[in-house]
Chains A and B, each alone.
Chain A
Amino acid sequence: MNFKHKYFFLFPGLFVLIGILIFPIIFVVRLSLSGWNSYNPGLDYIGLENYIRLFTDDPRFWESFFRLSFLSVTTVILQYVIGFALAHMVWKDIKFKRFFRVLFLVPMMTTPVIMTVIWRTFFHESLGPVNDLLSVFGVAPKWLTDPVIAKFTVIIVEVWQWTPFMFLLLLAGLLSLPKEPFLAAAIDGASPVRKFIYVTFPLMAPISIGAIIIRLIEASKIMDTVYVLTSGGPGTSTETSSFYIFIKGLREFQMGYAASMSFTYLIIMIISLTIIAKVLTKVLLKE
């Protein structure tokens, strides 16, 4: 099996990998050590200056990061709970099962940006139908301009948009479960509720972990929803990391600084997702 040209066959794959992953990462690292901005576009070398600024003099980045953590964890938990409930519902033999299965997937098939524009119209404080309905009760929440409520508006839109994806993964998981343990559990005296707690949920643990991690990675990139819905406002109250990096890099053209933020963000995400995956595995799989 040891022949001369074996590395030659690895080359196409390696070439693509270098082109789209390894080079960009190395370039970002190099960029982060430069002062590239609109006045001074060029790969000069300023050492760790950008990182020192990020860690000592930029509370806005860290605020946006913790906001992002809150938003992504909350949306993913909600998506998981709702997605599981919906999947469980259409897993059993109910009427119009196929209809509901398709219906629940519809949000995922829509274009997120366009749907967010529609949601923005929905939640418009003086013209939107939501407040129009709520005016019956004499309330008119500031869906998009209150710093606290705006966060929940983002959460609602995110959950609506991405629960179907969770639903899809969990339904596939439920359908792949062996039927036998459920027969055994019924005979062993487990009521439907206990059957869910002691059989369905533990059997679904590996799939749940996968689904949650996939969604967490996706959710930690929340950007389009915020961009269209609130533009990070009011103030910076719905600004997320990716949105802030986008502002710094592609609006203010502080490329060097944005690169250092991106790289820091990447490292933090890798570490925290690894920890989350480990913890979930420990808790759900008891391993």
Chain B
Amino acid sequence: MDLVANNLSYKPDDQYHLNEVSFNFKEGNLYTILGRTLSGKTTLLKTIAGLLTPDSGEIEFDGKNFLKVPVWERNVAMVYQQFINYPHLNVYENIAFPLKQRKMDQSIINDKVMDALKSVGLLGYEKRKIQELSGGQQQRVSLARSLVKNAKILLLDEPLVNLDYKLREQLREEFKNLFSKGLADETILIYSTTDPRETMELNGEVIVLDEGKVLQVGSAKEIFENPNSLKVAEISNDPPMNIIEAKISDNNIKFEGINLEAPQHLSKLTEDGLKIGLRSSDIELNENGQEFEVELAEISGSETLLHLKRGDTKIIVSIEEVLNFKIHDKVKINFKIDRAYAFNADGKLAASPFGGLNGQN
């Protein structure tokens, strides 16, 4: 049973929340919708769930016009970024709620609820009130509530975004396990996130969304290796990919008085207005490198993010250790230029170290 959407558009104010979105989701697969906040991810999931009606376009599921089916008959489960549960019910009753709506047998409900509790690691919490749980536990309850239904379509709307770092890591791991050890083969799993790392780890089919428009569709690897445009490169990297305005001539990449020998995949590009893209992890500290000035150094976890400047060029370097820098310190860095991307003036991919051209791979 496929979930097919054609040209979904939704424009409640003067901005598109969805702009001609089309997709074809197949059962048994995991789809990740990657986009920044306000890119239309939640709108898209709500449209699939039936909480929103698009202005135009159609959704078909199992050969039927899905837009004609009321929300409560759609057999969809959804986990929200704000941990949504029923405040007046305890943990057990919360998870049993969707089953009760289907008027199932009490003993079957009991088995299913216990299974779900077990799979999210909340056995023993049945009688607790929702308000007595931590954020992570509340999110597990809503995850259990969505799993217990065996819905054909499972929507997860940035389920980890409101959790603290530790919990996010832990739940992300659990998600991966849950997803891989088989939600039934007939489930379509749709997971939205702003975090490229989550996208890579979940390793499903990725849809990159921006301002309501689908920018690129492909496997996580494809998106990582060959982002088809500057926008996608920005969205699919955290910190965003460094974009450097440079000129290529005589087999040299030139910017801010720096001359780098162009690697093979970039050497043939000569057009004007080229932009060179380089991930923050593809720049390293090196005694013999180019001198830049520190604008800001932030330590995040076990990483140090250096915001550097030289002339008009600003770049971010991520270093896998905790280092202390002062503002206006001078550092020397080395570009792993053989891993650089090139985008042409209108933002399309011109060359990639992985061989993709114009993203049509």
B-binding residues in A (CB < 8 A): 178, 180-181, 183-191, 194-195, 198-199, 202-203, 205
Contacts and interface: CB of A to CB of B under 8 A. Distances in A.
Contacts of B149: 188-189
Interface in B79-114: 80, 82, 84-89, 97-98, 100-102
Contact of A181 (B70, B85, B98): B85
Given A183-B51, A186-B72, A188-B97, A205 B88 contact: yes
B145 interface: yes
Nearest to A202: B88
B220 interface: no
B84 A188 contact: no
B40 to A, nearest CB: 18
A190 to B, nearest CB: 5
Interface of B: 49-51, 70-78, 80, 82, 84-89, 97-98, 100-102, 142, 145, 149
A188 B101 CA distance: 7
Given A180-B82, A183-B80, A185-B97, A190 B87 contact: no
Contacts of B89: 202
A184 B84 contact: yes
Given A187-B72, A187-B78, A199-B88, 20 more contacts: A180-B84, A181-B86, A181-B87, A184-B85, A185-B97, A186-B72, A187-B76, A187-B77, A188-B145, A189-B72, A189-B75, A189-B101, A189-B102, A189-B149, A190-B72, A190-B97, A190-B101, A195-B72, A198-B97, A198-B100
Contact of A187 (B49, B88, B100): B49
Contacts of A195: 72
B240 to A, nearest CB: 32
A178 B84 CA distance: 10
Contacts of B100: 198
B80 A180 contact: yes
B72 A203 contact: no
A170 B224 CA distance: 54
Contacts of B84: 180-181, 183-184
A180, A184, A187, A194: most-surrounded residue (chain B CB, <10 A) = A187
A187 B82 CA distance: 15
6 contacts: A181-B85, A184-B78, A184-B80, A187-B49, A188-B98, A198-B100
Contacts of A186: 50-51, 71-72
> What 5 A-B pairs have minimum CB-CB distances, sorted nearest first?
A188-B98, A189-B101, A180-B84, A186-B71, A202-B88
